[in-house]
Chains A and B, each alone.
Chain A
Protein backbone atom coordinates (compact mmCIF):
# COMPACT_ATOMS: atom_id res chain seq x y z
CA UNK A 1 0.00 0.00 0.00
CA UNK A 2 2.78 2.39 0.87
CA UNK A 3 4.10 2.15 -2.71
CA UNK A 4 0.96 3.93 -3.85
CA UNK A 5 2.27 7.03 -2.13
CA UNK A 6 5.74 6.76 -3.70
CA UNK A 7 7.72 6.66 -0.50
CA UNK A 8 11.47 6.69 -0.79
CA UNK A 9 13.25 5.11 2.13
CA UNK A 10 16.83 6.14 2.74
CA UNK A 11 18.25 4.56 5.89
CA UNK A 12 16.37 6.00 8.83
CA UNK A 13 14.67 8.59 6.63
CA UNK A 14 11.54 8.40 4.54
CA UNK A 15 10.66 10.91 1.85
CA UNK A 16 7.50 11.57 -0.12
CA UNK A 17 5.83 14.43 -1.93
CA UNK A 18 2.44 16.05 -1.44
CA UNK A 19 0.56 17.81 -4.20
CA UNK A 20 -0.32 21.29 -2.94
CA UNK A 21 -3.17 21.55 -5.45
CA UNK A 22 -4.93 18.93 -3.31
CA UNK A 23 -3.57 19.68 0.15
CA UNK A 24 -2.78 23.26 1.12
CA UNK A 25 0.37 24.15 3.00
CA UNK A 26 -1.80 24.94 6.01
CA UNK A 27 -3.27 21.42 5.90
CA UNK A 28 0.24 19.97 5.75
CA UNK A 29 1.33 22.05 8.75
CA UNK A 30 -1.67 20.88 10.77
CA UNK A 31 -1.13 17.22 9.91
CA UNK A 32 2.60 17.43 10.56
CA UNK A 33 2.02 18.98 13.97
CA UNK A 34 0.28 15.81 15.16
CA UNK A 35 3.33 13.68 14.34
CA UNK A 36 6.05 15.86 15.82
CA UNK A 37 6.20 13.76 18.98
CA UNK A 38 6.91 10.55 17.02
CA UNK A 39 9.11 11.65 14.14
CA UNK A 40 11.29 14.49 12.95
CA UNK A 41 9.65 16.19 9.99
CA UNK A 42 11.31 18.50 7.53
CA UNK A 43 9.53 20.23 4.65
CA UNK A 44 10.95 21.51 1.40
CA UNK A 45 9.86 21.98 -2.22
CA UNK A 46 7.72 24.45 -4.07
CA UNK A 47 4.48 25.29 -2.23
CA UNK A 48 2.81 26.21 -5.54
CA UNK A 49 3.34 22.65 -6.85
CA UNK A 50 4.43 20.08 -4.32
CA UNK A 51 5.91 19.79 -0.87
CA UNK A 52 8.65 17.31 -0.11
CA UNK A 53 8.21 15.72 3.30
CA UNK A 54 11.20 14.10 4.97
CA UNK A 55 10.48 12.00 8.05
CA UNK A 56 12.97 10.54 10.46
CA UNK A 57 12.22 8.38 13.48
CA UNK A 58 13.12 9.91 16.82
CA UNK A 59 15.81 7.97 18.55
CA UNK A 60 13.96 7.29 21.77
CA UNK A 61 13.24 4.05 23.68
CA UNK A 62 9.49 4.53 23.13
CA UNK A 63 9.96 4.57 19.38
CA UNK A 64 11.66 1.20 18.95
CA UNK A 65 8.65 -0.44 17.40
CA UNK A 66 7.65 2.52 15.27
CA UNK A 67 7.33 1.71 11.60
CA UNK A 68 8.17 4.78 9.53
CA UNK A 69 6.07 3.68 6.54
CA UNK A 70 3.09 3.13 8.80
CA UNK A 71 3.50 6.64 10.18
CA UNK A 72 3.70 8.02 6.65
CA UNK A 73 0.44 6.18 5.81
CA UNK A 74 -1.15 7.66 8.90
CA UNK A 75 0.18 11.06 7.88
CA UNK A 76 -1.69 10.77 4.57
CA UNK A 77 -4.88 9.87 6.42
CA UNK A 78 -4.35 12.84 8.70
CA UNK A 79 -3.98 15.09 5.66
CA UNK A 80 -7.46 14.04 4.56
CA UNK A 81 -8.76 14.59 8.05
CA UNK A 82 -7.28 18.09 8.22
CA UNK A 83 -8.56 18.90 4.74
CA UNK A 84 -12.07 17.98 5.82
CA UNK A 85 -11.72 19.99 9.03
CA UNK A 86 -10.64 23.03 7.04
CA UNK A 87 -13.60 22.66 4.67
CA UNK A 88 -16.12 22.26 7.49
CA UNK A 89 -14.49 25.17 9.28
CA UNK A 90 -14.85 27.34 6.20
CA UNK A 91 -18.45 26.37 5.47
CA UNK A 92 -19.50 26.92 9.09
CA UNK A 93 -17.62 30.18 9.55
CA UNK A 94 -20.70 32.43 9.20
CA UNK A 95 -22.85 30.33 11.52
CA UNK A 96 -20.03 30.18 14.08
CA UNK A 97 -19.53 33.93 13.95
CA UNK A 98 -23.27 34.46 14.38
CA UNK A 99 -23.45 32.12 17.39
CA UNK A 100 -20.47 33.79 19.08
CA UNK A 101 -21.84 37.26 18.37
CA UNK A 102 -25.23 36.27 19.75
CA UNK A 103 -23.66 34.75 22.87
CA UNK A 104 -21.58 37.88 23.48
CA UNK A 105 -24.58 40.11 22.87
CA UNK A 106 -26.65 38.22 25.42
CA UNK A 107 -23.83 37.99 27.95
CA UNK A 108 -23.12 41.71 28.12
CA UNK A 109 -25.92 43.92 29.45
CA UNK A 110 -27.16 46.07 26.62
CA UNK A 111 -26.26 49.63 27.51
CA UNK A 112 -28.55 51.18 24.92
CA UNK A 113 -31.56 49.25 26.20
CA UNK A 114 -30.74 50.27 29.77
CA UNK A 115 -30.47 53.96 28.80
CA UNK A 116 -33.72 53.81 26.85
CA UNK A 117 -35.42 52.20 29.83
CA UNK A 118 -34.06 54.92 32.10
CA UNK A 119 -35.32 57.65 29.78
CA UNK A 120 -38.74 56.01 29.58
CA UNK A 121 -38.95 55.83 33.37
CA UNK A 122 -37.93 59.48 33.75
CA UNK A 123 -40.45 60.50 31.15
CA UNK A 124 -43.23 58.59 32.85
CA UNK A 125 -42.46 60.09 36.24
CA UNK A 126 -41.71 63.72 35.41
CA UNK A 127 -43.26 64.47 32.08
CA UNK A 128 -45.10 67.47 33.50
CA UNK A 129 -42.04 69.00 35.17
CA UNK A 130 -40.51 72.02 33.44
CA UNK A 131 -37.23 72.79 35.22
CA UNK A 132 -35.94 75.03 32.39
CA UNK A 133 -39.20 76.90 32.07
CA UNK A 134 -39.62 75.91 28.48
CA UNK A 135 -43.39 75.61 28.68
CA UNK A 136 -43.78 79.29 29.63
CA UNK A 137 -45.52 81.26 26.86
CA UNK A 138 -43.12 83.77 25.29
CA UNK A 139 -45.79 85.92 23.75
CA UNK A 140 -46.55 87.66 27.10
CA UNK A 141 -42.89 88.74 27.45
CA UNK A 142 -42.88 90.11 23.93
CA UNK A 143 -45.94 92.26 24.60
CA UNK A 144 -44.53 93.74 27.84
CA UNK A 145 -41.38 94.88 25.94
Chain B
Protein backbone atom coordinates (compact mmCIF):
# COMPACT_ATOMS: atom_id res chain seq x y z
CA UNK B 1 0.00 0.00 0.00
CA UNK B 2 1.45 3.38 -0.92
CA UNK B 3 0.83 7.11 -1.10
CA UNK B 4 2.23 9.42 -3.74
CA UNK B 5 2.79 12.91 -2.38
CA UNK B 6 3.09 15.68 -4.93
CA UNK B 7 6.45 17.40 -4.33
CA UNK B 8 4.99 20.80 -5.18
CA UNK B 9 2.39 20.45 -2.45
CA UNK B 10 4.03 18.29 0.21
CA UNK B 11 7.54 19.00 1.44
CA UNK B 12 10.07 16.19 1.76
CA UNK B 13 10.90 17.38 5.27
CA UNK B 14 7.29 16.99 6.40
CA UNK B 15 7.05 13.48 4.90
CA UNK B 16 10.31 12.43 6.57
CA UNK B 17 9.19 13.84 9.91
CA UNK B 18 5.89 11.96 9.63
CA UNK B 19 7.74 8.73 8.83
CA UNK B 20 9.81 9.24 11.96
CA UNK B 21 6.69 9.86 14.05
CA UNK B 22 4.95 6.76 12.61
CA UNK B 23 8.01 4.53 12.85
CA UNK B 24 6.71 2.84 15.99
CA UNK B 25 3.39 2.05 14.33
CA UNK B 26 4.52 0.86 10.90
CA UNK B 27 7.47 -0.02 8.72
CA UNK B 28 7.55 2.65 6.06
CA UNK B 29 9.75 3.09 3.01
CA UNK B 30 10.30 6.26 1.06
CA UNK B 31 11.31 6.71 -2.58
CA UNK B 32 11.69 9.86 -4.55
CA UNK B 33 10.50 10.29 -8.09
CA UNK B 34 10.75 13.38 -10.24
CA UNK B 35 7.46 14.93 -9.13
CA UNK B 36 6.33 12.68 -6.35
CA UNK B 37 7.48 11.28 -3.02
CA UNK B 38 6.38 7.66 -2.88
CA UNK B 39 5.70 6.34 0.62
CA UNK B 40 5.25 2.59 0.96
CA UNK B 41 3.64 0.96 3.97
CA UNK B 42 5.35 -2.39 4.32
CA UNK B 43 4.01 -3.62 7.62
CA UNK B 44 1.65 -2.11 10.12
CA UNK B 45 2.44 -3.19 13.66
CA UNK B 46 -1.00 -2.42 15.00
CA UNK B 47 -4.35 -1.55 13.43
CA UNK B 48 -5.56 -1.29 9.88
CA UNK B 49 -3.10 -0.44 7.11
CA UNK B 50 -5.60 1.57 5.01
CA UNK B 51 -6.55 3.66 8.02
CA UNK B 52 -2.90 4.12 8.92
CA UNK B 53 -2.19 5.33 5.39
CA UNK B 54 -5.00 7.92 5.56
CA UNK B 55 -3.95 9.06 9.01
CA UNK B 56 -0.39 9.39 7.75
CA UNK B 57 -1.52 11.60 4.84
CA UNK B 58 -3.51 13.78 7.23
CA UNK B 59 -0.53 14.05 9.54
CA UNK B 60 1.75 15.18 6.72
CA UNK B 61 -0.84 17.76 5.61
CA UNK B 62 -1.18 18.99 9.18
CA UNK B 63 2.54 19.67 9.29
CA UNK B 64 2.13 22.21 6.48
CA UNK B 65 -0.39 24.37 8.33
Q: Which residues of A approach B to under 8 Å, CB–CB? A: 25, 29-30, 32-33, 36, 40-47, 51, 56, 58-59
Chain A minimum-CB-distance residue to B56: A40
Contact string, B2-24, partner A, CB cutoff 8 A, digits 1/0? Answer: 01001011100000000000000
Q: Does B29 contact A (CB under 8 A)?
A: no
CB distance from A43 to the nearest CB of B (A): 5
11 examples of A-B residue contacts, CB within 8 angstroms: A29-B64, A32-B61, A32-B65, A33-B65, A36-B58, A40-B57, A41-B61, A43-B6, A44-B9, A47-B9, A56-B54
A30-B65, A43-B10 given; 6 more Cβ-contact pairs under 8 Å = A33-B61, A33-B65, A36-B58, A42-B57, A43-B9, A59-B51
CB distance from A62 to the nearest CB of B (A): 15
Q: Which of B33-65 contact A (CB under 8 A)?
A: 51, 54-55, 57-58, 61-62, 64-65
Range, interface on chain B: 10 to 19
CB distance from A78 to the nearest CB of B (A): 12
CB distance from B18 to the nearest CB of A (A): 13
Asked if A33 and B62 sit within 8 Å, CB to CB, the answer is yes
